[in-house]
Amino acid sequence: MSSRVGASSTVTFHLEGVDEHGAVVDSTFDAGKPLTVVMGTGALMKGLESALFGMEAGEQNSVVVRPEDGYGQRDETLVRDVEPARLPKGYSRPAAGDVLQIELDGGQQRPVTVLGVERGRVLIDFNHPLCGRTITYAVTIVSVD
């Protein structure tokens, strides 16, 4: 008897996410190492987590996650000028398109995108790089405990 993904299951799975333009935005298949998460802990975005409920080991599924159930809609108030001294240590040459990991209060890491550099200031987009995108995930459940 196989167990199905439930509210507090530990689930190991592979996924590949493709955005609406066909670009692969995330893949554990390429890395060869699946993700393992405990359901209900907030480790996954709402749209992906809800699609995993009821699946069982060996099952494959395609899941469409819209922005409101994924990384959210873009918020233009999260685009800000930042002094270069506030950027992560060791990052000294900001360029448009760079994606950085910054540490928020409380120690959480967050990806941000450099939009440009002007007059000694760096324009940073604090929106998640995938916000506003619809992502289709191919999911393969490896195990459910």
Whether residues 67 and 120 fall in one domain: no
Q: Tell me which of 76 and 31 has the higher pLDDT.
A: 76
Q: Tell me which of 5 and 102 has the higher pLDDT.
A: 5
1 in a structural domain: no
- The whole-chain average pLDDT of the chain stands at 93
Residue 93 belongs to what domain range? Answer: 76-125
- Tens-digit pLDDT profile for residues 76-128: 999 999 988 888 888 888 999 999 998 877 888 889 999 999 888 999 999 99
17 and 25 Cβ atoms separated by less than 8 Å: yes
Query: Can you read off the two tokens belonging to residue 118?
Result: 């002007």
Q: What is the CATH number of the domain that holds 26?
A: 3.10.50.40
Percent of the chain with pLDDT over 90: 78
Kindly tell me if the per-residue pLDDT of 26 is higher than 70.
Answer: yes
Q: What is the CATH number of the domain that holds 90?
A: 2.40.10.330
Residue 32 CB neighbours (<10 A)? 7
